[in-house]
Amino acid sequence: MKKAIYPGSFDPITKGHLDIIRRGSKSFDKVIVAVLINSEKQGLFSIEERVSLIRKATFGIDNVEIISFDGLLVDYMEKNHISIILKGLRNSKDFEYELQMANVNKILGNEIETIFMISNPENSYISSSMVKEVCKLGGNISGLVPSEVESIIKKKIMG
C-alpha cells in the first residue's frame, strides 16, 4: 500500500491544504494528515480543534486519516512504516524552505522521499496566518477556507 504523510501545523486548515489532500488522495492509497504538536508555538486552535476541522473538511475522502504527532517527523514515519512525505509548493520561497526540510529529513530518516505538489494558482497566496488576520479584521474568508468549516473558524476568531 502506497502511503504518504502530509505534515503541518494546520492552524487552521485552508483551501490550499485541502487541495493538496484531495489531489494526494488520488495519487496515493492512503494520505495521513499529520498535525504537529509544537510546544514552542501555541497557535490559535488547539490540536483537537485542528484535527476536528480537518476531519470535517475531508469528510467523504475515504483514504484520508488524521493524526497528531510530536517529536521528529521521521521517527513517527519509521514507527508507522511510512516513507513518503507529501508537501505543497506555493512559490519559490516555499521551495527554498522545503528543500532544506526535505534534505534534513533524508539525512535523519531511512529512505525517506519528499514528494511535492504544485499548489493551484488560486491557492498560492493562502496561508493560515492570512486567514486569521483577514477574519480578525472582518474580511470575507470564504475563498480561503473549506466551506464545511468556515463558520467554525469564524466563530473561534470573532467570538
Nearest 5°: the CA angle 138, 142, 146 is: 130
Residues that bind ligand COA (CB under 6 A): 7-11, 14, 16-17, 20, 36, 72-73, 88, 90, 101, 104-105, 119, 123, 126-129
Which residues, 6 or more positions from 106, have their beta carbon under 8 angstroms from its beta carbon? 112, 113, 114
90 is a catalytic site residue:
yes
Question: Among residues 44 and 154, whose Cβ is nearest to ligand COA?
Answer: 44
Exactly one of 3, 15, 50, 90 is catalytic; which is it? 90
From 2, 26, 39, 41, the catalytic residue? 41
Q: Please state the closest distance from residue 51 (CB atom) to ligand COA, in A.
A: 14
> Per this entry, what is the length of the chain?
159
Q: How far apart are CA 15 and CA 10, in angstroms?
A: 11
Provide, rounded to whole angstroms, the least separation between the CB of residue 146 and ligand COA: 12
Quote the cell numbers at residue 41.
Answer: 508555538
Distance of alpha carbon 91 from the chain centroid:
16
Is residue 81 flagged as an active site residue?
no
Measured from the CB atom, the residue of 66 and 73 that comes closer to ligand COA is 73
Q: Which residues are catalytic?
A: 17, 41, 90, 128
